[in-house]
Structure 1
Amino acid sequence: MSIFDRYAPFVQDFIYDHGWEQLRSIQVAAGDIILNTDENLLLTASTASGKTEAAFFPILSLFAQDPPASVGCIYIGPLKALINDQFQRLQPLCEEGGIPVWHWHGDVSQSHKAKLLRKPSGILQITPESLEAMLLHKHMAIPRLFGDLRFVVIDEVHSLLRGDRGGQTLCLIERLSRLAGVNPRRIGLSATLGDPEIVGKFLSQGTGRKTLIPQVEGPGSKWRLSMEHFYVKDAQAGEDKPDIKALPVLEEKTDQAPLQADPGLGYIFEHTRGKKCLVFVNSREECEGVTTSLRQYCDLNHERDRFLIHHGNLSAAYRETAEMLMKDEDKSLTTVTTSTLELGIDIGRLERAFQIDAPWTVSSFLQRMGRTGRRGQPSEMWFVIREDEPEIRAMLPATIPWKLLQAIALVQLYLEEKWVEPPRLDRLPYSLLYHQTMSVLQANGEMSPASLAGKVLTLPYFHRISQDDYKVLLTHLLNTDHLQRTEKGGLIVGLTGERVTSSFKFYGVFQENEEYTVRCDSQELGTVVAPPPPGEKIAIAGHVWRVLEVDRKRHVIYCEMVKGKVPAYFGECPGDLHTKILERMRTVLKEDKQYPYLMKNAVARLTQARFTASQSGAATQPLIQLGGKMWCLLPWLGTYGFLAMERFLNLKVGPEVGLKNLDSFRPYFMQFTMEADAKTFFETCYKKIKEDINPMELLYQHEVPQFDKYDEYLPEELVRKGFALGVLNLADVKKRVLEWQTTANVGE
């Protein structure tokens, strides 16, 4: 029988109704594995390739033949918006088959959740944080809710692989499986995976199954790509140059621009007119600032406001309104967004995506590119790179257009090698260990230390953590009242621990700042960090508001809307660049290659940068003398290699070469003063790296580098160990120094 013939009749009808003439190859491959084997499955294929249907068509067909006696499948999605979107996509199909589909997260009504609790069945769509809350508060009900659980589908699995959130998800699946006495098959879905084999092993941890990864040739996709550069003020790099255009652009118009307008935003304003677009930015602050500026353009040009806003600090009402309006095919609207609209939410026929500056990862670039180009159209992205024009007397590193190089490197790595960042699975997750320890103990009540260790340390994600480390953690938590010992010698959550676990913020493991809810009358606008005093202004939801009152006890800000523009602030937004991207940036600076997607100003700016780099040696030499005792080092290392290099220079090399005043512009370059010459610097680096350094030696005295959310509750020795052995990338430093030894002709 063909895979189509194995589908349930209602699934076949769904396919006929949608006019699909044949199954896609990924749907055939997934159907074969789900229906004919008992193994796990990892589906990797481009955005809009039908991965969700590939997984659910056979699952629903199996459920139609043999309905599960509880929830039969959990779908875990990284975003509430993605859960909502997939719920709407699956609900009509499941209704036809009489299979209930439920969604569960913070914005879902209690009445909807209560129905599931009364009659657990079908498919449950949930975020990792809501699953954590369920295990914490519905602990005794887990066997009844999931006693016949057969599948766990993890969507956008790549988004969970570069931090504790992916580890939390695996721990939750394992804890739930043990409680319910089940071993569900795991299915991972992703459009952008750097090393599927490693991810497959990660997915299978603790299941006793293999993960099958079908090699599916997808249909060739076309891109329409352009990249333009703008100085925020003054003349542009490409003025008076021949007009080079990678994409046909709209006829130029002379729009009214706000005072001190940013020409890059004027370019976006013009080229979104009459189109349905997304504008991606890299932080919530920038999202607010860009939206406010674009709305000012509308005001000055007497146009209706055609810009929406979407980011994680906005209220659910604001986010869902933007999603709903973007799905309206008759409206030509543009939404300015962070990564919240990067993942697989279907917001209709998008014509164009803009990216302001460069994203941090190839994966993110591909996800954002994949938002457009659905329904037979080519994907289309316009990069808009902005920078302040370097001053005439600026030192060399400030004259390099880092964001332009980064954007080109991201694109070229994928075009040339199909390279995407590999997962980061080699960390020492002590922060998550604290979190899961407290969660398990809160859910179970009193436990002996041995029983607690048996439930937590045996979770496969903690395979690198020793029993000795766990004893250190438990002793510290007892001393700080996060845990308390009972008269019988058991452990319970202490008073300090209760304050942590009773907060709704405990469900998540990603870092977040203390937030204040912003309200105008009865309307909730979103949240901000560090509220200004009354009378000051804040920017949120794409408008400016005057603060009327700050209720610090309830964490609420009351305000009113006013005209104007102010910067927004939501907290830090660090980037995570891979070393391979920095290395490709160096090649961009060195090579003589032209890239067909660069437009006039970008071509001129890159040509200028290459000339400067060639003259100064920056393209080939890692160490440049800026004048006198001032030096610049270009290590071309990713974020965590760069951090390790800083420490290596300060702690190991610096004392011997008179290196002082190291000032980093992470992860691009560092400047310092130095008594020694270049040859001595390289010889000293080589000598020190050959000493086989322990990463713990790269910690500063008395330093406790809190990097993850719950590090503040850990003993200092575990925080230091986790940062040194799990964050700092000493291997990249060793590789780079040995390269210098070759290029600088430094001997043994």
Structure 2
Amino acid sequence: MRRLPPLFQDWYSSKGWSVHPHQIALLERADEAALLLIAPTGCGKTLAGFLPTLVDLSPKSHSGLHTLYISPLKALAADIRRNLSTPISEMFLPIRVEDRTGDTPQSRKKRQRADPPHILLTTPESLALLLSYEDAPRIFSGLKRVVIDEIHALAESKRGDQLMLALSRLQALCPGMTRVGLSATVESPTSIARYLACAPKQCSILQADPGPDPDIQMLETEEEPPWSGGGAKYAIPAVLRQIKQHNTTLVFHNTRAQAEIFFHNLWLANDEALPIGIHHGSLAREQREKVEAAMVRGDLRAIVCTGSLDLGIDWGDVDLVVQIGAPKNVKRLVQRIGRANHRYNAPSKALLVPANRFEVVECIAALEAVQAHDLDGEPQGPGPRDVLCQHILIRAAAGPFEAERLYEEIKTVGAYSSLSRSSFEDCLNFCATGGYALRSYDQWQRLQKRPDGLWQLRDPRATQRIRMNIGTIQDTDTLKVRLKGSRGGKPLGEIEESFAAALTPGDTFLIGGQIVRYDSLREMVVQVTRDRGRKPKIATFTGTKFATSTQLSARILAMFRQEDWPQLPQHTAEWLKLQRKVSKLPEANRLLVETFPHDNRQHLCVYGFSGRNAQQTLGLLLTQRMEAEGLNPLGFVATDYATLIWGLDLVANPTPLFTLKNLRGGLENWLAGNAVMKRTFKGVATIAGLIDRNMPGARKSGRQATFSSDILYDTLRKYDPDHLMLKITREEALRGLVDFRRIEEMLSRTAGQIDHVALDRVTPLAAPLLLEIGKVPIKGAAEDRLLAEETKALMREAGLT
């Protein structure tokens, strides 16, 4: 059992600190195969993860790499390096710490391979790249420890699957290596422990004192939330007052476009010219780093941001978090709240700002979930096979391998523990030949089996292309944006290619908080100049549009069972009471379906509370069924809680529309040639190595990649419908963009019990759906006034004014 040396005890004392019990516990149990530490933000969690390493390396010199630190964010790795430098320099420890990410210069990367530091801070992608080199066994020969920070964030994505496969390879190279996972927000510790463990060994769980509950409330505003929309413009005066009353405020948004709009409107209202920045993943790296540096120095009073600042970076003197829009996920909200008062035993302070009237209910439900320590999370499925295919190619790039040994390595990963030998062989054969329909093309003939039974690359030159395409983060079709000027112009960020294609010279749009005018497209770069004069278009950015979690939806439905709602603002409580009087409120074990006429059309509203993706899919499937039955649907709109369909004919009996057999049959027909499938196929094929994102000397544009993936998809569907990539595509589509699982959950939950309420006018709960984008086609300078008039008329019809 390890003890804290006097040198470290003296250092803690010199700082006026005491060693936390969880830090000592992690040190004492450092030799266990795997440990998961769950500890609140600001409690020295990261130092706890590194303490055994610092103690190990303090008395003696170690040759080569001792500890590998894995972070989901490049910026987090850089921040940890800065933080580690303090104890190392102040205790004069003979330890070299370096980071290695996509931003690290090639010269330093080359030196790190030849002479690894004692502690290397990196990301899953950079680790996979290191493992693809022939000298990986030498680089990692002395590795003792792997520390995975923010492990919950990695466990929810393919990046985490890639990381665990990489760790299985590392464990084979370094059998005595220990694993440590760190997190502040884990809904199921045992699930994450199984995810982290190296089978068949077990992972111990250490839980620190959670500290005080956060101080989280709804922001009080003079103006009531609007009936629809996601920008929360109404709350800007109240948010600005909070910014003035605090040192540094993080203003979180769920999408990059919403962050841009809010920042623009906030800046227009910022009459005292307070220093306010914006930070999101589509901004140029130079601009993000400039904002990050200003945050560390304490130069900014507020930062409008997205998930780019979700994770555990210690950014200056942040004392307030504002969440704009319903958080959609309790765990994400807790993570964001933890950015404020980044100190142990100091409650984090946060304010929730619903963007519209329904989000008031969701925000209250989320607030109650945080107070109850009820975190949400979806069950993990089996490991994705497109990631496995990439791992096989990475392993081949490092040199010849034995298939049976690689299979046994892979099965030590929790998500792949049930992988059958035939499924592994399918992936191996795909990597070797491209599959039946593609085996005659040289570009997909990548692996061959040697006479001694080992597999190797058919052409060693393929290693470059494999390494250039490592990673599971999907580059959507984006174009760089630069200010016109000498030497290429100042980089501002990226916008989606489809948005850029719709621009004509002179159009203006928002990026990085400033209005720019589109001038031209040259060499795949959007060239712009600053233009403050006109109302800008809203650029489209990459990023996930979150769906409300199953657990949060269940809380909302439970709230509807209450007789009264003292926790809700009066205007929202009266809205729900009127809905109950005019129609019904949705129930968890029954499906509410309303039908009513409006604007010379018949409407059908389904309250499934299944999340935006599933409700969108439900709209597609129901309109397909209605079309088959001659009910003449015209269109639909979907939110996280409902799908509204309008058409020419009344649906007198909606029950037959909701049989699982009919919906599943409609899904199969719809999926066959759908754009969703092609979009999913492109991502799957890119990760698996069928399509190259990057090629030596060139990078494909989004249109080029889409064109080639569409041709491949159509070819495989026609000539090889059982191709592995098509099977994976269907699996991914069903649990991703389509999210049919939640439709099945809804039908199971309601068990065929449908409450059909036929009315003669729009209902209070359905009225906001008629204001969703795409239903009210209003454009031009008079947009706000016309939308206000449309809203007033609708709410009057629904009895809400």
Using structure 2 for the length normalisation, give the TM-score: 0.76
Distance (Å, rounded) in 1 between the aligned partners of 2:479 and 2:616: 29
Residue 410 of structure 1 pairs with residue 366 of structure 2: yes
Shift of 1:651: 7.2
Match of 1:194 in 2: 187
Is this contact kept in 1: 2:448–2:458, CA < 8 A?
A: no
Is this contact kept in 1: 2:71–2:121, CA < 8 A?
A: yes
Shift of 1:430: 3.1
Matches within 5 A, 1:90-489: 90-95=84-89, 96=91, 97-136=93-132, 139-178=133-172, 180-206=173-199, 208-228=200-220, 262-273=233-244, 275=246, 276-298=248-270, 301=271, 303-329=272-298, 331=299, 333-375=301-343, 377-387=346-356, 401-416=357-372, 418-427=373-382, 429-444=384-399, 461-462=415-416, 463-464=418-419, 466-467=423-424, 469-470=426-427, 471=429, 474-475=434-435, 478=439, 482-484=443-445
- TM-aligned CA distance change 1:514 to 1:261, over 3 Å: closer
SS in 2 for 1:612: helix
SS in 1 for 2:65: coil
Match of 2:51 in 1: 57
- TM-aligned CA distance change 1:350 to 1:467, over 3 Å: closer
Distance (Å, rounded) in 1 between the aligned partners of 2:529 and 2:139: 46
Distance (Å, rounded) in 2 between the aligned partners of 1:635 and 1:125: 44
Match of 2:711 in 1: none
**Deviation by residue 1:266-285 (Cα, 9 ceiling, x = unmatched):** 32223212531111111122
Match of 1:247 in 2: none
- TM-aligned CA distance change 1:363 to 1:502, over 3 Å: same
- For structure 1, the 5+ residue unaligned runs are 239-259, 388-400
Match of 2:761 in 1: none
Is this contact kept in 2: 1:70–1:122, CA < 8 A?
A: yes
Letter in 1 for 2:645: F
Shift of 1:372: 0.9
Shift of 1:561: 2.4
Is this contact kept in 2: 1:68–1:149, CA < 8 A?
A: no
Shift of 1:383: 1.9
Among candidates 2, 5, 28, match of residue 8 of structure 1: 5
Shift of 1:155: 0.6
Shift of 1:574: 2.2
Distance (Å, rounded) in 1 between the aligned partners of 2:314 and 2:54: 22
Q: Which moved more, 1:435-444 or 1:141-150?
A: 435-444
- TM-aligned CA distance change 1:458 to 1:363, over 3 Å: closer
* Matched-pair identity in %: 23
Among candidates 710, 718, 726, match of residue 717 of structure 1: 726
Letter in 1 for 2:294: L
Match of 2:695 in 1: none
Shift of 1:85: 1.1
Aligned length: 683
- TM-aligned CA distance change 1:377 to 1:141, over 3 Å: same
Is this contact kept in 1: 2:33–2:177, CA < 8 A?
A: no
- TM-aligned CA distance change 1:29 to 1:665, over 3 Å: same
Shift of 1:369: 0.8
Match of 1:584 in 2: 555
**Deviation by residue 1:562-606 (Cα, 9 ceiling, x = unmatched):** 32452232235321332121122223344245466x6xxx54234
**Deviation by residue 1:620-647 (Cα, 9 ceiling, x = unmatched):** 4611122385321111224565467557
Distance (Å, rounded) in 2 between the aligned partners of 1:549 and 1:306: 32
Letter in 2 for 1:311: H
Is this contact kept in 1: 2:158–2:472, CA < 8 A?
A: no
Q: Which moved more, 1:580-589 or 1:87-96?
A: 580-589
Match of 2:539 in 1: 568
Distance (Å, rounded) in 2 between the aligned partners of 1:635 and 1:64: 59
Shift of 1:617: 0.8
Residue 17 of structure 1 pairs with residue 9 of structure 2: no
Shift of 1:227: 3.4
- TM-aligned CA distance change 1:481 to 1:267, over 3 Å: farther
**Deviation by residue 1:223-243 (Cα, 9 ceiling, x = unmatched):** 142234687xxx7689xxxxx
Distance (Å, rounded) in 2 between the aligned partners of 1:370 and 1:666: 28
Shift of 1:450: 7.8
Match of 1:626 in 2: 596
Using structure 1 for the length normalisation, give the TM-score: 0.81
Q: Which moved more, 1:720-729 or 1:64-73?
A: 720-729
What is the root-mean-square deviation of aligned Cα atoms in Å?
A: 3.8
Shift of 1:113: 3.6
**Deviation by residue 1:82-125 (Cα, 9 ceiling, x = unmatched):** 11111111112233321111111122344544543343231111
**Deviation by residue 1:643-685 (Cα, 9 ceiling, x = unmatched):** 675577567898579695562414321133697967x544674
Matches within 5 A, 1:523-534: 523-530=490-497, 531=500, 532-534=503-505
Is this contact kept in 1: 2:619–2:638, CA < 8 A?
A: no
Match of 2:27 in 1: 31
- For structure 2, the 5+ residue unaligned runs are 691-722, 757-801
- TM-aligned CA distance change 1:128 to 1:512, over 3 Å: farther
SS in 1 for 2:331: helix
Shift of 1:370: 0.9
Distance (Å, rounded) in 2 between the aligned partners of 1:261 and 1:677: 35
Is this contact kept in 2: 1:77–1:127, CA < 8 A?
A: yes
SS in 2 for 1:700: helix
Shift of 1:12: 2.0
Is this contact kept in 1: 2:171–2:177, CA < 8 A?
A: yes
Letter in 2 for 1:195: S
Distance (Å, rounded) in 1 between the aligned partners of 2:51 and 2:751: 57
- TM-aligned CA distance change 1:469 to 1:643, over 3 Å: farther
- TM-aligned CA distance change 1:65 to 1:669, over 3 Å: same
SS in 2 for 1:373: coil
SS in 2 for 1:59: helix
- TM-aligned CA distance change 1:107 to 1:66, over 3 Å: same
